[in-house]
Amino acid sequence: MIEVIGLVKQITDGHSNKKILDALDFHLKAKKSVAISGDSGSGKSTLLNILAALDNADKGVVKVAGLTLNNMSEVQADQFRKKHLGIVFQQFNLIDCLSVWDNITFPARLNGLPIGPFHNDLLEQLGLKSHKHKLPVNLSGGEQQRVAIARALSHQPSLVLADEPTGNLDDNNSQVVSELLFRLCKQLGLTLVVVTHSPKVAAFADSRLLLQQGRLHAFSNQPPNQTSNLVSA
Amino acid sequence: MVPLLKLIWASYQHNTLRVVLVLVALITACAGLSAVLVINSAAKNSYASSNQPFLQQVEQRIIARSGHTLNKQDFAALRRLGFTQLIPVLRSSQNILHPITAQPLRISLLGIDSFSVISYLASNALKAEKNSSKVSTEELGQLWRPPFVSVIHADFASELNLSDAQILAIENNQLLPKLAVTASQGLGREIVMDIGQLQRVLGTQKISELMVVGVQNDQETHELKAALPEHLRLENINTGEQAQQLTGSFHLNLLAMACLMFVVCMFVVMNALHLLIMKRWHNLRIVRQLGVSRKQIYWAQGAELLLISLFCAPLGAIAGVFLAQLASPLVSLTLQSLFDVRIGYTQVAYLSLMTQCFAACILGAFTAAILPMRQLNTKLALRNLSVNVHTNHLPWLFASIILGCFAVGLGYYSQNILVSFSAIAMSIFAGCSLLIYALPKSLNMLFHSLPERWVLFRWLAADGVRLSQKSKIACCAFFIALTSNIGMNLMVDSFRQATQQWLTQRLVADQYISTQSPEAFTQWLATQDIDVKVIERKGLDAVLLNKPLSRTKNTTPNKTKIELRSYPSSNLYQEAMLFVQQQDDAWQRFTVDQGVLINQQLALRHELTLGEELNFYVESGQPETKHIVGIYYDYGNQNAQALLALDYFAKYKANTTLFALHFASKQQQSLFAKQLESASISNQVRSIQTRELLALSMQTFERTFVITDGLNIVTLLVAALSLATSVLMIDMDNRPQRALLRSMGVGNYQMTGLSLIQYTLLSLLACLLALPFGIGLTWLLINLINVQAFSWSYPLLITPAKLLSAGLLSVLLIVLVVALPLYRLSRRKLVEDIKCLSF
């Protein structure tokens, strides 16, 4: 599903170049989830940007859902995001002028997909049925993040990227939201990449990666052979 | 304070565009205002001294009656009788060949008896005058003694590209005395020389008029009248006060347009200040955390505005003077053709002008800063600002209704132009309030009416509600500019059509002749074998005896004086008459001298209605009474006028004012023109064909509105600029939403297109609302302002095509101006935008 080979991303700091991602290699099989952890400035967000085709790699190859992101034009990148990607942000980032229902169905409608039982079911599973016609401003943080999850899944993308999805939530809500995110992705057969500092959230993932000095290191509570089946770094 | 100012100064380096916007808006506002102040003040100075070149306080003149001439002997005789206040003047309009370009130029030449002026200046009479002359006797001496000079004002010389010591030749190859360029006050758009020199050049001994210098009391006027020989008459000319009254509405109109431009500029300042403050509020909050009080921050912001005003006011004032110099020939010609008022060049009092500009600038800037400062206050209070999409807009609707009611009330009871302008301002503000109420409501309705599958358009409408709240100031600026644009366009268009229709209907003759020697013309015509019907138009002044009005509504200097004119009673002329109101048997009664027709000016000024009696007397006659049987349109006439049937006019000893010629055929008309050209009386008559007269009238008409149109377009541009700055301001808030949609795969150009559609939608909604308000504004301008200023009105003609084009052109302008910042935004890298989503 995700194939990253020799990925290098550097930034220019005055006269010197600093490598954010240094010859990074990793593979993630379809329908699996991975949690990526790392210190601040370790390159987690840069990696997500590149996986979301929001930024370009300086060197290396990045393939998602069989598409090579390196040589994509802006229009192709837009199409890729529209069709293949669902994103869950730390700050929820809902469209504040649209209702919960409009927010959730937005990506599906954008892709011209029919709105039907799947979306109602999603609404129900996320416990948002009673909030269907409310505006985001009238929801709590946990509810807003659940709407964001529903939105990220509504067009059943190939890949879901989540950036600190519980970063703005309390422990109880974190637990609920993480459980929902991982369960629904598994249920729908979607590949999930979660960037998180929280071990509790990471524990839901099929595998865990640690980003250090621009390189990924695999670590998991699961047996090594099982991890390597899912992800290799 | 100093560290804070340093912080503000440092923030400029990252906000150059916003600072430039503030500066440009303030300079533009000051430039427009100061240009109008300079034009108005030049005119006011000119009127105040009621001066002619080298002469002040000229309110009367002696001219020859029709068919007679005024000459040196007449002047000498009057001087011998002790009338030393008379100054002989000769006026002539001549073609000269430009010494450099060799192009012919039509220039007014003014010959003045400089010896008489000097002797008058030296007399005790002048010393007693309160308004003592500031005329330089040295310049007068130059006119009088060899080597003679022709004096021209520096600005006029510069406009014509003429310079000092040049010698000009007129058509008969005679040379004028060499030019002396001066900045003397009172000089206008003419070349002045000694009367002897002008008589030599023109080969004549004639005098056009004898100017009566100084304020004359009734006794002196009576004595002078009594001393005049039969062939001369004394007449009043437009005094300074009269000129000021006549042109008051014109100057007020200019000032109103400049104020409108100033207000719209302040909207730009407001938006730009908002942008600046939003950019720096983060740093200011840190400064607050470091212990700087809010008060200190406000003082620093105030000091910044003061410094900006100090920088902008002088620049704006200088730009305004430059603009005024560009516009002054046009203004001068307009005033001359509209009101027969002459304005001379005056020197600009820079200090006073800059002080006025600075005062306006600082007042405007501080007023514009109120809203941004309020927002800063909220932010500095560390309160969270959340966008409430369900803001209650009902108060705006109530405000609109209340303002509208006030506007109607003020308009209904308005007694003067200032109150009427206040009514107009209030109605426009009512429109603004309604716009603020209607924009989110309409967009909300649009959102709910769109099918759910049109997801981006639904977002566009829903986001537009939020956008309308953030851009309401800019939308109001656009609304004001658009309303005034539609209002002015419609007014000018209605006036143009009404004038054209009226002129076409009234000018029924093929040709018109005006002459000072009517007898000579009729004698000459009798000897020609031309098939033509001649209709003499006679006229004289009469004094109205109707009871004066308690309330004054007009600007006429002498309300009791009316023009009495003859009018033919034939069917042709009956059809040519355009009535406001008439009795059923109006024409029958008019033709048998049982009724009089009066113009709209007379009816409105004296509140005369059909069926009432008009009581008047002419200079040598008994009081007369006539029934008013019709009220007719008489556009452009400043005077109250009454028409009597031509057949019954013979009893008055009236002058012939005009000959209307009706030719049997076009060939006869050509023959007449040919024979007149070679006739000896050709230089005594002015002949003009109807179509030329029509063209000339329309040319004067267009010239009148060109300045207003110019200011109007600038206002619209400034409003567009205001909306463009608003786009930049809103973008800061809108970045997360844009980035979010982009992250979902909405393309860059799609996003830019959506934003453009959003602004077009806002402009279209503002335009839709501006249409009825624009029409209302036109109605007020025609039926309130025009009636109060000139005592006449005309029908309001609504041309849908004109309305549509004015609206669409304005929206197109907005779209073009807004497209620039949107294009700039679309160039930004997505990865930069996405940072605001904490991705």
Residue given tokens 């839709």 in the structure block:
B768
Check pLDDT > 90 for residue B630: yes
CB contact under 8 A, A97 and B459: yes
**Which pLDDT belongs to residue B209?**
85
A164-173, B291-300, B642-651, B725-734, range with the lowest pLDDT: B725-734
Helix (H) or strand (E) holding B370: helix B350-380
B195-209, B233-247, B632-646, range with the lowest pLDDT: B233-247
Listed in sequence order, the DSSP H helices in B507-546 are 518-526
**Which pLDDT belongs to residue B642?**
92
Nearest to B839 among A48, A83, A102 (CB): A48
Parallel, antiparallel or unpaired: strands A159-163 and A191-195: parallel
Q: Amino acid identity, residue B208? A: S
Asked if B759 and B727 count as a contact pair (C-beta separation under 8 A), the reply is yes
Q: Which CATH superfamily groups domain A31-56+73-220?
A: P-loop containing nucleotide triphosphate hydrolases (3.40.50.300)
Residue B322: closest CA among B752, B757, B28: B28
Check residues B362 and B824 and name the one with the higher pLDDT.
Answer: B362
CA–CA dist A67, A51 (Å, integer) = 11
Residues of A in contact with B838 (CB under 8 A): 89-91, 163-164
* Main-chain dihedrals φ then ψ at residue B825, nearest 5 degrees: -65, -35
**Which pLDDT belongs to residue A195?**
92
Q: Quick check: helix, strand or coil at residue B233?
A: strand
**Which pLDDT belongs to residue B57?**
65
The answer to whether A80 faces chain B, any CB pair under 8 Å, is yes
Kindly state the tokens that stand for A226: 């099982």
Q: Nearest residue of B to residue A83 by CA position?
A: B745
Please state the rounded mean pLDDT for residues B372-391. Answer: 61
A63-77, B202-216, B251-265, B633-647, range with the lowest pLDDT: B251-265
Q: Give buried/exposed letters for B604-641 (b at 16+ CB in 10 A, else e).
A: bbbebebeeebebebeeeeebebbbbbbbbbbbbbbbb
**Which pLDDT belongs to residue B730?**
72
**Which pLDDT belongs to residue A104?**
92
CA–CA dist B667, A100 (Å, integer) = 85
- pLDDT tier for residue B185 given thresholds of 50, 70 and 90: low
> What is residue B784's DSSP assignment?
I
**Which pLDDT belongs to residue B264?**
74
**Which pLDDT belongs to residue B383?**
45
Which of B100-104, B255-259, B403-407, B743-747 shows the highest mean pLDDT? B403-407
Describe chain B by its helix, strand, coil percentages, rounded to 5. 60, 15, 25
Residue A77: closest CA among A46, A108, A52: A52
**Which pLDDT belongs to residue B430?**
94
CB contact under 8 A, B744 and A54: no
Check pLDDT > 90 for residue B433: yes
Render B673-688 in DSSP notation, one character per residue: HHHHHHSGGGGGEEEE
Kindly state the tokens that stand for B318: 């200088």
| Nearest chain B Cα distance for residue A29, angstroms | 23
The answer to whether A49 faces chain B, any CB pair under 8 Å, is yes
Asked if B273 and B330 count as a contact pair (C-beta separation under 8 A), the reply is no
Listed in sequence order, the DSSP H helices in B616-747 are 666-678, 690-743
**Global ipTM:** 0.82
CB contact under 8 A, A137 and B463: no
- B555-565 confidence digits (pLDDT tens): 444 447 788 88
* Main-chain dihedrals φ then ψ at residue A30, nearest 5 degrees: -65, 155
Residues in chain B: 839
* Main-chain dihedrals φ then ψ at residue B579, nearest 5 degrees: -90, 145
The 8 Å CB, 24+ separation contacts for B730-734 are B730/B467, B730/B470, B730/B471, B731/B821, B731/B825, B732/B275, B732/B278, B732/B279, B733/B470, B734/B463, B734/B467
Asked if B744 and A81 count as a contact pair (C-beta separation under 8 A), the reply is yes
Residues 724-763 of B with CB under 8 A from A: 736-737, 740-748, 750
Asked if A48 and B839 count as a contact pair (C-beta separation under 8 A), the reply is yes
Kindly state the tokens that stand for A3: 């194939």
Asked if B697 and B507 count as a contact pair (C-beta separation under 8 A), the reply is no
Per-domain boundaries in chain A: 31-56+73-220
Average pLDDT over chain B, rounded to an integer:
79
- B438-494 confidence digits (pLDDT tens): 998 998 899 999 988 888 899 888 888 877 877 787 788 888 888 888 888 888 888
Mean pLDDT of residues grouped by 10 in chain A (233 residues)?
88 76 86 89 86 88 89 86 90 86 90 90 89 90 91 92 87 87 91 90 89 74 45 50
Q: Amino acid identity, residue B333? A: L
Residues 801-830 of B with CB under 8 A from A: 830
Asked if B90 and B208 count as a contact pair (C-beta separation under 8 A), the reply is yes
| Nearest chain A Cα distance for residue B470, angstroms | 14
- B493-522 confidence digits (pLDDT tens): 888 888 888 888 888 888 888 877 788 888
